[in-house]
Structure 1
Amino acid sequence: MTSLLQRVKAKMAIFAHRKARGMLDGEYGSVFRGRSLDFDDLRAYIPGDDVRDIDWKATARFGSPLIKRYVAVRRQTVLLIADTGRGMAAESRDGETKKDIAVMALGVVGYLAHRHGDVVGLVCGDRNGTRSIPAKAGEPHLERLLREVDSSTSLDSGPSRIEDQLEYVARNVKGRFLLFVVSDEHAAGPDTEQLLRRLRAQHEVLWLTIRDADLAGEGNTGQDAFSVADSSMLPAHLAASPAVAAAYAKATGERDAARHAMLRRAGITQGHVTGSSAVMTELFALLERHRRAG
């Protein structure tokens, strides 16, 4: 059986050369910068240093810029939160199974955490239940997490309901973690927004949406399609209709806008991907946006 983690690492090598991987490493390392470190001492400012680390009071007394230096006090805990409902067994915008894209994204973040000496845990599930695997270090453990997501996601899974997994985290997870959420195209709602605000008050939260297949208009393949959520059919001749395509695009746009606004109001950095080939670049952008927002 081929290792899922080895597949992730191989794709990382294909989609990003060494310099790009180093930049991604640096963005990951900067997410917690200054938040989980103890102050050590001061040193002179060097061009290229983050201006947020300047100690302005000490600078005023000394007469030239001084930078705060920190020492790490503990490893970080990264919690992967995955939707493994049957919606994730459907096709993505680029034609891949959304589950495979989720495994790629979770694997990249988990591997970055491993490279930085952090521990990684998992919370996943659907409407029928939530499962958790405690955080540990090491590649065999990360492989176990990816296997759990891969084996749990199928057309026989329960309906997707990421709120249940988020509620589990809110009830059971103590301390301050980095939460990396990978979800279907979730619809916004006031209860979800309130839950996200609770989580954001305690944790760092990154959210990645995997885009649905475009079934109408230009995305129509000429074949009948069905919804994995309720098995409803969309005949090909209807999907090709300009009126149906316009209504489909309008509904999708309104749902996306509502979700984006909800996450933005909750203070959560978000991104989206349509296929595994975009995972590396989108994660880099996601981490960079989070660093700048912090």
Structure 2
Amino acid sequence: MGKHLNAVKRRFGTDTRGLLDGGRYALLHTRSMEFDELRPYVPGDDVRDIDWKASARSGSVLIKRFVTEKHHKILLVADAGQNMAALAPGGERKSTVAENILGAIGLIALGRSDQVAMVYGDGRGSLNIGLSRGETQVERILTHYHDHAVAARGPSDICCQLDYVATHYRHRMLIVVVSDEPEPDARLDELTARLGSRHDLMWAMVADMPATAAGDRGGFDIATGRPVHALAAGDRRVIAAYRRAEQARAQRLTEFLTARSIAHATLTGSADLRRAIVDLTGVWSRAG
């Protein structure tokens, strides 16, 4: 594995069994050679699956049953704009957490022989990496995202990437969006509706460092460069009002995504990686 994928493996682990099984859409069906059991023949079964020796011994026609595998075409949609240069609550750059999320999905895809692609960018436009499978593909995805994340970035606008996907990706895919926490508005509503009618959606979000953690000197808005007043040094009523507003904002976002049947998880840092991805893929699988 490459250096980026190895770094993710150290964070996420190597056990990906059962992750991304199920879901609403079986995008490509194959049958493995792993034998499961014998069962009675029913009209419509493939006669090539009849076990003639077992049938002769039992006196009835028996079918070999094999394990069925579902392979997906996975599209990663990632914000690589200025917002991802900010800090997450765990102290890492949000882009680092996002890269680990992308890598974790890539590791799951490797274990399942899924194909994976990526659309990434910022408010200036989108770049894409076409579908393929294997370690080289996942390492390529991580390298491109990492390189863009440390280069000069434009303002974040995940709707720009979602609009690109809605316009250019017509065939059904499993879409995993990786961004900060978006603001629910009419534009996001329209785009998620368009995508949800054709694709299956999951959303992994990286939280912002709360303003109350800025310290006495405060901080600054990563997108505008404007200073942010230090709430921790202010009136306790202001801090309480800020926390209530943040709770209300998070609740609105949760209700927005839940109403649109979008499985979602929020990470405060890479320490959340395993838990969040297991929860996220579990919710998605049960939705099927």
TM-score, length of structure 1 as denominator length: 0.80
Is 1:165 equivalent to 2:157 in the alignment?
no
Answer yes or no: is 1:187 the counterpart of 2:179: no
Give the deviation of 1:293 after TM superposition: 2.1
Q: Distance in 1 between the 2:19 and 2:77 partners?
A: 20
Q: Which amino acid aligns with 1:187?
A: E
Deviations 1:5-36 (A, max 9, x none): 110112223xxxx7xx2xx4203233367564
**Aligned partner of 1:113: which letter?**
A
8 A Cα contact 1:78 1:178, kept in partner: yes
Q: Which amino acid aligns with 1:30?
A: G
* Structure 1 residues 75-86: aligned runs within 5 Å: 75-86=71-82
Distance verdict in 2 for CA 1:34–1:130, change over 3 Å? closer
2:21 equivalent in structure 1: 29
1:126-170: CA deviations, max 9, x gaps?
111111110111212211111111121248411111011001111
Q: How far off is 1:252 after superposition?
A: 1.8
Letter in structure 2 aligned against 1:125 = G
Aligned to 2:245: 251
Q: In the alignment, is residue 175 of structure 1 matched against residue 167 of structure 2?
A: no
User: Is residue 24–residue 287 contact of structure 2 (8 Å, CA) maintained in 1?
Assistant: no
- Which residue of structure 2 aligns with residue 141 of structure 1? 137
Name the larger-Rg structure. Answer: 2
Please say if 1:264 is aligned against 2:258.
yes
Counterpart-to-counterpart distance in 1, 2:79 and 2:94: 10
- The 1-side partners of 2:71 and 2:99 are apart by 24
Post-superposition offset of 1:76: 2.2
Q: Which residue of 2 aligns with 1:90?
A: 86
Could you tell me whether the CA contact under 8 Å between 1:239 and 1:245 is conserved in 2?
A: no
Mean alpha-carbon deviation: is it higher for 105-114 or for 145-154?
145-154
Equivalent residue in structure 2 for 1:110, among 106, 110, 117:
106
Identity %: 28
Return the offset for 1:253: 2.0
TM-score normalised to structure 2 length:
0.81
2:9 paired residue number: 9
What SS does structure 2 have at the residue aligned with 1:93?
Answer: coil
| Other structure's SS at 1:231 match | coil
- Number of equivalences: 260
Q: Please give the alpha-carbon distance, in whole angstroms, between the structure 1 residues aligned to 2:141 and 2:26.
A: 29
Q: Tell me the distance in 1 between the aligned counterparts of 2:114 and 2:232.
A: 50
User: Are 2:216 and 2:232, in contact at CA under 8 Å, matched by a contact in 1?
Assistant: no
The alpha carbon displacement at 1:69 in A equals: 7.4
Change (3 A) 1:6 1:38: closer
Question: Unaligned stretches of 5+ in structure 1?
Answer: 46-67
The 3 A distance-change label for structure 1 pair 239 and 25 is farther
Q: Secondary structure at the match of 1:113?
A: helix
Mapped partners of 2:10, 2:235: distance in 1: 41
Higher helix share: 1
Are residues 34 and 158 of structure 1, via their aligned partners in 2, closer, same or farther at CA, if it must alter by over 3 Å?
closer
2-structure distance, mates of 1:142, 1:36: 20
Runs of 4+ in 1 over 6 A off after TM superposition: none
Matches within 5 A, 1:35-54: 36-37=28-29
Secondary structure of the 2:17 match is: helix
Q: For 1:96 and 1:223, locate their aligned partners in 2 and report how far apart those are by CA, in whole Å.
A: 20
CA RMSD of aligned residues (A): 2.7
Distance 2:141 2:287 in 1: 29
Asked whether the equivalents of residues 221 and 227 of structure 2 are also in contact (C-alpha less than 8 Å), the reply is yes
Unaligned runs of 5+ in 2: 32-36, 41-64
Distance 1:101 1:239 in 2: 29
Partners of 2:26 and 2:72 within 8 A in 1: no
Counterparts of 1:288 and 1:98, CA distance in 2:
24
